[in-house]
Chains A and B, each alone.
Chain A
Amino acid sequence: MNKAEPLIARYSHKDYKSAVKPIWCPGCGHFGVESSLFRALAYLELPPEQVAVVSGIGCSSRIPAYTQCYGFHGVHGRAPAVATGLKLARPELTVIVTSGDGDAFSIGGNHFIHACRRNVDMTLLVMDNEVYGMTKGQPSPTTPADWDSKIAPGGTGVNPFAPLAVALASGANFIARGFSGDPNGVARLLVEAIQHPGFSFVQVLSPCVTYRPEEKFWKKMVHSSSVEPTHDPAVAGHRLLSDDGFTTGVFYIGNRPTYTATVGTSDNDLSAIEEELAI
């Protein structure tokens, strides 16, 4: 972490928080994630107007409304596409995508994979509660196969998706997992993810206390990684595939070149393109 300590706090939580009160259920893990995000931005001393928070749809995707940063509450699953366009057009902005396991891995699964592959410099923060919270408790791609509920009696019987392994295979340049009950730990992961060039993926286990009340016990199940992050995708792949899903920490730090716009965005360039395309 290459930052001199500030002498006084230039920014704090309240500089990033909007006046809109979250309508999340009290106790929802997403509150912890919101705190972590604001703490990370304050630590990095990023002016709110230099940060864009882009989301899809879901309880987790409501964060853009709750922040003073620029926000875009987009179409379900498509936030990475919007964020990619934004980052290419305005490379000076810090772009953060906030999403849920339904938004990012189900309807947005394809966008997730290709955003990892493109490696544009942005951070994808997925609040994973292994359920569709907003639409009242349907199983998501990360829900265990045997999670029994009214809507999926006996469980779906379908193997859960492995988001971190998929991100690694697809080319994400930074891969980490945190837990919403440890907001300072998540803030640290976010700081590293934002600072690392390229596409960073941070999964945060964030209990849905309403539709998955048993997830309150995640606090007893999470454990921090005992090994250093690796730069070797083969080592990271082995770790991720043999992990219990509750290890927190940084798994992989890559050094792939970041994708940047090859066409300028100034008015001159745009008129040059227009001229080129003129019939």
Chain B
Amino acid sequence: MNLVINTLDELLAHAHELEREAVERYEDLAGQMEVHNQPELAELFHKMAAIEQQHVVKVESLAGSQPRPLAPWDYQWQTPESPESVPVGQGHYRMNPHQALTLVLACEERAEAFFAELAESTSDPAVREMAVQFAAEEKQHAELLKEWLARYPEPKADWWQDLDDPIAQE
């Protein structure tokens, strides 16, 4: 699907939904980690949700109100889901903070790529200016996350192994 966004209203609607869905997915992941007794990861995802919620508020203040939503399938995401959300199917109940932050970093990088592509493709200078600014912000978040990520050790080779394995198959 070609990315064609030439009005600020459309840009803000996309930015709002991107941040809103990110909050929704991080809260879902936090809940999953609570259920699977991973309090450290639950806290991490709650924190991410709170950060993204600030971005929702920021987009709303730029728009002057809550932007008019589009039908879910009318957003011009270039990925199967909105770019800043951890895709359905990713995440594991035994992942460690390094793996969780890797998922989060990928979200920021996808969001940056989305806004950068939008800035390239739009014909409207005001849209371009705002998209460039959003892309720069996402890039900045990605840089911060890289620093954060470096503080956590990578998972051990057998990280997924569970002595009380739910898997009956071999």
Contacts and interface: CB of A to CB of B under 8 A. Distances in A.
Interface of A: 1, 5-9, 12-14, 21-27, 29, 31-32, 35, 39-40, 43, 136-137, 149-151, 180-185, 187-188, 207, 209-211, 216, 219
Interface residues of B, number: 35
Contacts of A25: 93, 166
B65 to A, nearest CB: 8
A211 B168 contact: yes
B68 interface: yes
B80 A149 contact: no
Nearest to A207: B89
B31 A22 contact: yes
Nearest to B93: A26
Given A6-B69, A150-B170, 9 more contacts: A24-B32, A25-B166, A26-B29, A29-B89, A32-B89, A40-B72, A150-B168, A184-B81, A219-B80
B159 interface: no
15 contacts: A8-B68, A14-B24, A23-B35, A26-B95, A29-B89, A35-B24, A35-B88, A43-B71, A136-B166, A136-B168, A137-B168, A137-B169, A149-B169, A184-B75, A188-B72
Contacts of B24: 13-14, 35
A31 B21 CA distance: 13
B73 A185 contact: yes
Interface of B: 20, 24, 28-29, 31-36, 65-66, 68-73, 75, 77, 80-81, 87-93, 95, 166-170
A43 B73 CA distance: 10
Contacts of A137: 167-169
Given A181-B87, A211-B169, A5 B32 contact: no
Main SS of the interface on chain A? loop
Contacts of B81: 181-184
A43 B34 contact: no
Give 6 closest A-B pairs by Cβ, nearest first: A32-B88, A21-B31, A26-B91, A184-B72, A188-B73, A26-B32
Contact of A210 (B33, B66, B166): B166
Given A6-B69, A183-B81, A211-B167, A21 B35 contact: yes
